[in-house]
Amino acid sequence: MDAHAAAPEMQMQGLAVLCNLAVSGENRAEIAALGGIEAILTAMNRHATVSAVQEEGCGVIRNLALTLSNKTVIAAQGGIEAVVAAMEAHQDDATIQDQGVQALRNLAFQCPENKARIAELHGIEAVLRAMSLHIEEVPVQKQACRALCNLAVHVSNQAKIAELGGIETILCTMEVHWAVVAVQEQGCEVLRNLAANSQNQAKIVHAGGLNSILQAMKTHSKEVNVQKHGSGVLRSLAVNTRNKSTIAAVGGIEVILDAMKRHAGEAGLQEQAFQALRNLALNCSSNQCAIAALGGIESVLEAMTTHAQAEDMQRQGCGVLSNLAANSQNQQLIAALGGIEAVLRSMQDHSGASGLQELGCGVLCNLAFENGQNKERIASLGGIEAVLKAMSRHISAVNVQKMGCGALCNVAGNSALNKAIILRCGGVEAVLMAMEEHVSSAELQAQGCQALRCLAVSDLNEVRDATLRGVEAVLSAMGQGSGDEDKVGYQGAREALSGVLDTAFTRTRHSLVGGARAALKAVGMDAQRFPWSCSPSRAPDSVAALGGVEAVLKAMRAHPTVSSVQEQGCGALRNLAINVDDQAKIASLGGIEIVLKAMETHPSSAGVQEQACGVLYILAVDDGRLLKIVALGGIEVVLRAMGANVAAARIEAGEWPQWT
């Protein structure tokens, strides 16, 4: 080729030989090592107007680019420019366009630098132009879609393809070639990659893409790859909130479930379908109901049984069940169909997979939420132990710890037996270890505080009753005085705080404080000597003894501006404070200051204000702590909260703050 550089026929023949030789991987490496890439590009640049040279040149680059090391060499020596120039100069030649898009496809595959470089050199425009000019040519359309699919893996290219009309071009070819399996398959695959861009999700639906995808899946229901890539597009589109209901309205859920039934043995398809159902169900109650009504829960559980050893599929299956379990009726159905057993089996079989353990804990968390039967069943089947095992093995995985704490909290809620099991199995230690390991994660700290809050008391009624008794004791003490203290300052503080509390609680419909006061008087009991420290629950003592108070205060100090951490932290302190010894511990470790700071920082958060007041009510039963609350400006803080009407609606309606 070097000796006859000016002879286009000789160059064409040489390129054709190299193209055939480059089918072999060993030959591709040798051609590059002997300077073949430079010779190929020299021929293409010197004979730019000779279509045969350009055709063979693009063909040999296509083959050489199958080797990863060659991709960068070809790009560095100007190979991308040569291919794009060939496609530009010979727009009407379908064969050159076909070879050109294949060359760009291979150059872009698994090479981020080339993806970006092709876009910079107008390669995307060249591919889309080839599709538009040769709409009837199936090979061009198929290979062009493959090229776009590889290019669309690059984030910036996703937006650029859409801006250049790529979505409309792809949908056009899918419509023209609706009966061609390869075009439908590749069209769905490139749309799937483009839909990773949030703006493209809306654009695809707006351009009629949803109908094209569903039509492809219905027409080619027996084709596994069409179903897999079609489900993949729906998965990405369903990330968009508006698209969820649109997909369901046009029958998308039915199409996905039909694909799962027809191709039950295809793990890859099942995984894509799981992801689509998972996204469709996320925060969409209507889709949660629709999926269940159409037999989606049964399909998911059957697939999980069939592909028990497919880790990714099990993970996605747990993700679907977790989102579906946000619906109370689905909680019952999942449990009745053996969903709890399926999840625990998956967690046991794939104990080393942190992502699966995270979602498995998430399913148990949602199934147990306010569902007594599911709580009992999860515990009886070893679910508590499974959660703790996951937390222990994956201590560095923050999401596993977060979901684990959530699961323990929900399984323990309103179940003294489950709380006892959790305590016996080391659940408190697991929560504390998670909080210590992930101090910087506000979400984990909030979830950890909530779990400790739940585990810190074995009987919620005991807390409710104790708090009412504590409020009465505080009010009674404020009204009487002891005679030993500074009568002016101390009595004034008592009267001021008494006014604040009386204003809040005597406005309630059933006058909780008034009822407690009347009850105490009826039995002739002196409120000042009320037996506050009687029979403390074992649970608060266990949590505090293991460092629960310190952990909660550490979390609140670390995340002062995060309302969820402050609310759950105050809630945990309130429950821990049922134990008289822990009241002193909370105060000595700076708990009063932290609680007041939470109220000052989050004046508009009803949850923070309610839980913080709950802590102050209990701590203020002691005269010394009461003085400290007053000295630290507690009266002003409470007054500001009331002035901002925080939780005023609940107080006005006679509702007691939520105890969870």
What's the CATH number where 73 sits?
Answer: 1.25.10.10
Q: What is the mean pLDDT of residues 204-225?
A: 98
The answer to whether residue 12 sits within a structural domain is: yes
Q: Average pLDDT, whole number, for the chain?
A: 88
Count Cβ neighbours within 10 Å for each residue of 172-188 and write b for 16 or more, e otherwise: bbbeebeebbbbbbbbb
CA angle 604-610-612, nearest 5°? 95
The answer to whether residue 643 sits within a structural domain is: yes
Q: Which amino acid makes up residue 354?
A: S
Q: How confident is the model at residue 540 (pLDDT cuts 50, 70, 90)?
A: low
Count Cβ neighbours within 10 Å for each residue of 457-467 and write b for 16 or more, e otherwise: bbeeebbeebb
The answer to whether residue 571 sits within a structural domain is: yes
pLDDT computed for residue 457 by the predictor: 80
pLDDT computed for residue 639 by the predictor: 82
Q: How confident is the model at residue 510 (pLDDT cuts 50, 70, 90)?
A: very low
Please name the residue ranges forming H helices in 511-633. 512-522, 538-545, 548-558, 563-576, 580-588, 591-601, 606-619, 623-631
The answer to whether residue 477 sits within a structural domain is: no
pLDDT computed for residue 458 by the predictor: 61
pLDDT computed for residue 640 by the predictor: 83
Q: What is the pLDDT of residues 542-590, one digit of tens each?
A: 799 999 999 999 999 999 999 999 999 999 999 999 888 899 999 999 9
Reading the block at residue 645, the tokens are 């009407």
The percentage of the chain sitting over the pLDDT mark of 90, rounded to a whole number, equals 81
Q: Looking at 131, 164, 197, which one is the last position of a domain?
A: 164
Q: Looking at 114, 137, 164, which one is the last position of a domain?
A: 164
Contact 312, 271 (CB under 8 A): yes
Q: What is the mean pLDDT of residues 217-237?
A: 98
Q: 633 is in which domain, residue-wise?
A: 543-653
Structural domains in the chain (count): 2
The answer to whether residue 417 sits within a structural domain is: no
**pTM for the full predicted model:** 0.83
pLDDT computed for residue 536 by the predictor: 34
Q: Looking at 105, 132, 164, which one is the last position of a domain?
A: 164
- Cα within 13 Å of Cα(570), Cβ side: 32
Q: How confident is the model at residue 498 (pLDDT cuts 50, 70, 90)?
A: very low
Contact 135, 160 (CB under 8 A): no
The answer to whether residue 146 sits within a structural domain is: yes
Provide the total of helices (H) and of strands (E) in the chain, helices listed first.
Answer: 43, 0
Q: What is the pLDDT of residues 515-525, one digit of tens each?
A: 333 433 443 43
Q: What is the mean pLDDT of residues 180-199?
A: 97
The answer to whether residue 38 sits within a structural domain is: yes
Judged against a pLDDT cut of 60, whether residue 201 lies above it is answered with: yes
The answer to whether residue 263 sits within a structural domain is: no
